[in-house]
Amino acid sequence: MKKLTDFEINRKLEKLQDWDYYDDALHTDFEFDNFKDCMSAMNRIAFECEALNHHPEWTNNYNTLDIKLTTHDAEGVTKLDFKLAKAINKIVEVED
C-alpha cells in the first residue's frame, strides 16, 4: 500500500474530526469518565483493528487514551489509517 502525500493527508483530515497529523502519523487523544469506560472502548477498537488487520500504537493512563496511527509497511500514513481513525471516532462517538 502506498503512503499518502502530505497534501492528500491534510485534505482528508478536514473530514476527520479530532485527529492531527505530525511525525508521519495520525494522532488523537480521548478522555473517558473512568477506567472501565476507557478499557471498554479499547476492547471495541481492538476488534475493529483485527477486522482491518491494522493496529495502533496507543497509551492508556487511567481514563485517558492516546492513539497514534501509521502504516508500518508503508512507513507513513495510508488510507488504512484513515479507515481505522474513522472507525475509532464512530466507536467513541465523536460528533461530526
Ligand X SMILES: C[C@H](O)[C@H](O)[C@H]1CNC2=NC(N)=NC(=O)C2=N1
Task: Return the residues of window 20-79 that contact ligand X according to CB under 6 A.
Answer: 53-55, 71-73
**What string marks each residue from 3 to 22 as x (binds ligand X by CB under 6 A) or -?**
--------------------
Cβ proximity to ligand X: between 63 and 79 the closer is 79
Please report which residue ranges of 16-59 form alpha helices under DSSP H: 35-52
43 contacts 51 by C-beta, under 8 angstroms: no
Q: For ligand X, which is the closer residue by CB, 37 or 49?
A: 49
Specify whether the CB–CB gap between 59 and 52 falls below 8 A.
no
* Shortest reach from residue 14's CB to ligand X, in Å: 22
Return the SS3 of 59: strand
